[in-house]
Amino acid sequence: MGKVIKFIKDNKDVLICYLGSKILFILVLLITQRPYAEVLGLFDAEHYRDIAQFGYYVDGVTVFFPVVPLLLRVTGSAGLIVINQIAYIASLYYLKRIVLKFATETRAVLVLALVAVSPLSLFTSIEYTEALFFFLTVTAFFLFTEDKLPVLTGLLLGLSVATRNTGSLLFFAVFAGMVMRAAGNRKDIKGHISKILLCFVPATMISLIYPVFLQIRFGNWKVFMDAQYDYWIRMRSDIFRTVYISLKVIFTNIYTFDGTVDTIILFKINEILSTGCLALSVLLIAREILRMRRQGKININVTCAVIYSVLFILAIGLTIRDPALDCPTASFYRYYASMFPLYLGLGRLNDKQVKISFAVTALITVLTSAVFVMGAYFY
| Residue range 47-61, pLDDT digits in tens | 999 999 999 999 999
Q: Please tell me the least confidently modeled range out of 109-118, 187-196, 259-268.
A: 259-268
Q: Is 130 among the domain residues?
A: yes
Based on the fold, state whether residues 133 and 163 are members of the same structural domain.
Answer: no
Give me the pLDDT at residue 253, please.
87
Whole-number percent of the chain with pLDDT over 70: 99
Based on the fold, state whether residues 20 and 5 are members of the same structural domain.
Answer: yes
Decide if pLDDT at 355 tops 90.
no
Give me the pLDDT at residue 278, please.
96
**Residues with Cβ within 8 Å of residue 183, at least 6 apart in sequence:** none
Average pLDDT over residues 62-71: 97
Based on the fold, state whether residues 129 and 151 are members of the same structural domain.
Answer: no
Q: What confidence tier does 2 reach under pLDDT thresholds 50, 70, 90? A: confident
Name the residue with higher pLDDT: 278 or 41: 278
Based on the fold, state whether residues 142 and 2 are members of the same structural domain.
Answer: yes
Based on the fold, state whether residues 336 and 236 are members of the same structural domain.
Answer: yes
Residues paired with residue 234 on neighbouring β-strands, in sequence order: 321
pTM for the predicted model, two decimal places: 0.95
Report the SS3 class of residue 235: strand
Name the residue with higher pLDDT: 5 or 347: 347
Based on the fold, state whether residues 216 and 318 are members of the same structural domain.
Answer: no
Based on the fold, state whether residues 109 and 70 are members of the same structural domain.
Answer: yes
Average pLDDT over residues 203-209: 97
Decide if pLDDT at 379 tops 70.
no
CA–CA separation, 276 vs 101, rounded Å? 28
Q: Is 360 among the domain residues?
A: no
Which one of 146, 180, 197 terminates a domain?
146
Give me the pLDDT at residue 262, please.
78
Which one of 221, 251, 273 terminates a domain?
221
Quote the DSSP letter at residue 58.
S
Residue 143, φ and ψ in degrees, nearest 5: -65, -35
Decide if pLDDT at 254 tops 90.
no
Q: Please tell me the least confidently modeled range out of 5-9, 121-125, 233-237, 240-244.
A: 5-9
Report the SS3 class of residue 222: coil
Based on the fold, state whether residues 139 and 198 are members of the same structural domain.
Answer: no
Half-sphere exposure (Cβ direction) of 154: Cα atoms closer than 13 Å:
18
CA–CA separation, 304 vs 17, rounded Å? 27
Q: Is 378 among the domain residues?
A: no
Give me the pLDDT at residue 132, please.
97
CA–CA separation, 311 vs 224, rounded Å? 19
Name the residue with higher pLDDT: 32 or 261: 32
Residue 35, φ and ψ in degrees, nearest 5: -70, 145
Based on the fold, state whether residues 164 and 89 are members of the same structural domain.
Answer: no
Q: What confidence tier does 127 reach under pLDDT thresholds 50, 70, 90? A: very high
Q: How far is CA 358 from the centre of its chain?
A: 18
Give me the pLDDT at residue 26, please.
93
Give me the pLDDT at residue 261, please.
78
Based on the fold, state whether residues 12 and 101 are members of the same structural domain.
Answer: yes
Nearest to 137 by CA among 169, 100, 89, 185: 169
**Residues with Cβ within 8 Å of residue 56, at least 6 apart in sequence:** 62, 213, 214, 217, 218
Per the structure, the count of domains in the chain is: 3
Nearest to 271 by CA among 339, 321, 328, 316: 328
Q: Is 83 among the domain residues?
A: yes
Locate all alpha helices (DSSP H) within 164-260, ordered by sequence.
Answer: 167-183, 189-218, 223-230, 239-251
Taking only the tens place, the pLDDT of each residue in 303-342 is: 999 999 999 999 999 999 988 888 899 889 999 999 999 9
Decide if pLDDT at 177 tops 90.
yes
Average pLDDT over residues 178-182: 95
Instruction: Provide the domain limits for residue 306.
Output: 232-348
Find out whether 305 and 339 touch, Cβ atoms under 8 Å.
Answer: no
Decide if pLDDT at 67 tops 80.
yes
Nearest to 200 by CA among 248, 240, 157: 157
Element (H, E) at 320: strand 319-321
Q: Is 281 among the domain residues?
A: yes
Instruction: Calculate the CA dihedral of residues 326, 343, 63, 269 and round it to 10 degrees.
Output: -10
Taking only the tens place, the pLDDT of each residue in 142-176 is: 999 999 999 999 999 999 999 999 999 999 999 99
CA–CA separation, 331 vs 318, rounded Å? 14
Find out whether 162 and 66 touch, Cβ atoms under 8 Å.
Answer: yes
Decide if pLDDT at 346 tops 80.
yes
Average pLDDT over residues 70-92: 96
Task: Output the average pLDDT for the chain.
Answer: 92
Based on the fold, state whether residues 15 and 131 are members of the same structural domain.
Answer: yes
Nearest to 41 by CA among 68, 63, 74, 65: 68
**Residues with Cβ within 8 Å of residue 328, at least 6 apart in sequence:** 242, 245, 246, 249, 271, 320, 321, 322
CA–CA separation, 342 vs 163, rounded Å? 20
Q: Is 353 among the domain residues?
A: no
Quote the DSSP letter at residue 323.
T
Q: Is 370 among the domain residues?
A: no
Based on the fold, state whether residues 339 and 260 are members of the same structural domain.
Answer: yes
Residues paired with residue 320 on neighbouring β-strands, in sequence order: 235
Which one of 221, 248, 263 terminates a domain?
221
Decide if pLDDT at 375 tops 90.
no
Taking only the tens place, the pLDDT of each residue in 210-229 is: 999 999 999 999 999 999 99
Element (H, E) at 278: helix 261-295
Give me the pLDDT at residue 264, please.
85
First to last CA, the chain: 44
Nearest to 338 by CA among 15, 87, 36: 87
Taking only the tens place, the pLDDT of each residue in 3-13 is: 778 888 878 99
Q: Is 29 among the domain residues?
A: yes
CA–CA separation, 148 vs 144, rounded Å? 7
